[in-house]
Amino acid sequence: MTEPIETYGVRKARERLARELKIARLHHEALEKARHHAGRTGLKLHFGCANNIKPGWVNIDLSADADLRLDLREALPFADGSCTIIYSEHFFEHVDYPARAPALLGECLRVLAPGGVFSAGVPDTEWPLLEYARVRQDGYFATAKRIFHPAWCETDLDHINFHFRQNGDHLYAYDEITLCHVLTRAGFERAHRRAFDPELDRRERELGTLYVAAYKPA
């Protein structure tokens, strides 16, 4: 009997399993480190920090630069009402909706103090769609080709596909109405589009980013 040949699908499934097992190990180790924050209040959480480490914040990511390498699909290891702000930039679109994003927002609501803010920047999906439909003509595709997207994106629809998928890493796309609706449905109030904030946001991310803030009820 010949050995079965590993197919593309099996190989990709094995790679996904290996990645998930690594994430589970990192998450377990981070839970031990998170005990350092037990009993603390006034915490500022930075989700999906990558190498953008904010001093004075708890920087959370799977990357080696992070303070805590947590799997944010799981419960947050922080006490109720212990945080004043939760911030992310180009992270929330990597959380599957509706499977896990509502659960994460529920955890954010739990750990935020009354009046605490959830502030996020995500790729602005309205811009590429309006430009694709020729409702606007202010340079999305030229900008994407120059700055955002890889060289294989050649047609307008290539760029649309990459915006939505990013090689499988993007799991949901947002415009202002949708993101504010998701936050309001989770229990936040006063969800609104906010301006770029140089104290929070990276200048290189400003173009093409939708920034939204919402608050835990006081």
- Cα four-point dihedral sign 131, 137, 138, 143: positive
* 108, 118 contact by CB (below 8 A): yes
Asked whether residue 210 is domain-assigned, the answer is yes
Asked whether residue 183 is domain-assigned, the answer is yes
Q: Strands of 83-89's sheet, edge to edge?
A: 58-60, 43-47, 83-89, 112-123, 209-215, 189-193
Per-residue pLDDT tens, the chain, 218 aa: give them.
677 788 999 999 999 999 999 999 999 999 999 999 999 999 999 999 999 999 999 999 999 999 999 999 999 999 999 999 999 999 999 999 999 999 999 999 999 999 999 999 999 999 999 999 999 998 999 999 998 899 999 999 999 999 999 999 999 999 999 999 999 999 999 999 999 999 999 999 999 999 999 999 99
Distance CA 122, CA 175 (A): 9
Q: What are the two backbone dihedrals, phi and then psi, of residue 135, each rounded to the nearest 5 degrees?
A: -75, -35
Asked whether residue 202 is domain-assigned, the answer is yes
Q: Work out the angle at residue 81's Cα, subtended by the Cα atoms of residues 76 and 87, and round it to the nearest 5 degrees.
A: 60
Q: Which of 183, 194, 30 is nearest to 109 (CA)?
A: 183
* 208, 125 contact by CB (below 8 A): no
Range of the domain at 47: 8-124+174-215
Asked whether residue 166 is domain-assigned, the answer is no
In one-letter notation, the amino acid at residue 7 is T
Asked whether residue 46 is domain-assigned, the answer is yes
The angle that helices 176-186 and 101-111 make with each other, rounded to 10 degrees, is 60
Element (H, E) at 120: strand 112-123
- Cα four-point dihedral sign 78, 79, 83, 87: positive
pLDDT of residue 42: 98
* Number of independent structural domains in the chain: 1
End-to-end CA distance of the chain: 68
Q: Which CATH number do you get for residue 32? A: 3.40.50.150
Asked whether residue 118 is domain-assigned, the answer is yes
Asked whether residue 43 is domain-assigned, the answer is yes
Task: Answer whether the bond into residue 98 is a cis peptide, omega within 30°.
Answer: yes
Asked whether residue 199 is domain-assigned, the answer is yes
pLDDT of residue 3: 74
H helical segments located in the chain: 8-34, 101-111, 126-132, 140-143, 156-165, 176-186
What's the whole-model pTM score?
0.95
Distance CA 202, CA 180 (A): 22
